[in-house]
Amino acid sequence: MHKFLSLVLVIALLAVSSAAFAHGAEKADKAGILVVSFGTSMPQARKAIDNLVNAAKNAFPEIEVRLAFTSNIIRNKLARERGEIIDTPVQALAKMNDEGFTHVYVMPTHIIPGTEYDEIKNVVEAFNSLKGKYGFKKLALGSPYLNSSEDCATMARILFARFANQLKNKNTGIVLMGHGTPEHIANALYSLLQIELDKISYGRFFVGTVEATPQISEVIAKLKRNKKVNKLVLSPFMIVAGDHANNDLAGADDDESWLNILKKSGYKNISTYLVGMGEDPAIARGFVEKIREMMK
């Protein structure tokens, strides 16, 4: 009898406590970082993204860091050719919610808040509209590298340091290829960066974009006004030195590449520096700083 009673008591307690857990008890806090990149399928170019992911892992060793790509073409290519599955931001956040993450810091690797960044923002806003068990206690979105004139000044200093050696030759001009976001006000940030670069080192940096303005024709017009510059260094102003850097910028076989257009415009002495900005230690430090800002 005594045995039976205590068994009933245990069962009753279990029922009460599981009900309390299912309905009332708060989930324990669990934080995560989600790095979001456009993505790349080129193994050499991937180093730049991995460098930023690793910087986040090293800075926040107690927090899990995950990676999502926005490009479905690249995601599908990686799955097909290398068997590597990388989630979209939507998939990654849904999984993190399911796995009990309560605080998620979404950190894009994007340089300007253009169309791509807007799409990530839409995803974050959509998840933030979910209340209850499918929502997060905190879901934050980090800012892109260039979001203000102060950011442009900081980036100009980073670029000046990055090309300090090449700039020692007074006849050298640094031609930077940004990605660009057409018909979007954020594209103006490239011109703001140009202004800041001119403040630090007048007439030595030439910023253009592959998809928007300033176009290569405008870069050449600016080059022609600087008669001293007869030696060029071409480099991507993108996190990843992938397809655009290797083909649209430096493609030797491509008549439309900046390399060939500049050659045709009379520049004989051209070298390339095809390293993604994501590999730059100063860019990795900035990335960590932006994550830290979100956590405040």
Contact indicator for 34, 99 with CB cutoff of 8 Å? no
CA distance 128 to 149: 29
- DSSP 3-state of 191: helix
How far, in Å, are 125, 163, 248 from residue 116 at the CA level? 14, 28, 20
**CA dist 226 → 82, 128, 223, 257, 290 (Å):** 47, 50, 5, 22, 36
For residue 296, give the nearest of 147, 109, 103 by alpha carbon: 103
Q: Rounded to whole angstroms, what are the CA distances from 253 to 133, 209, 250, 259? A: 54, 20, 9, 10
Q: What are phi and psi for residue 231, nearest 5 degrees?
A: -125, 130
179 among known catalytic residues: yes
In the set 2, 23, 103, 179, the catalytic residue is: 179
> Residue 11 is inside which H or E element, if any?
helix 2-19
End-to-end CA distance of the chain: 58
Element (H, E) at 48: helix 43-59
State the catalytic residues.
179
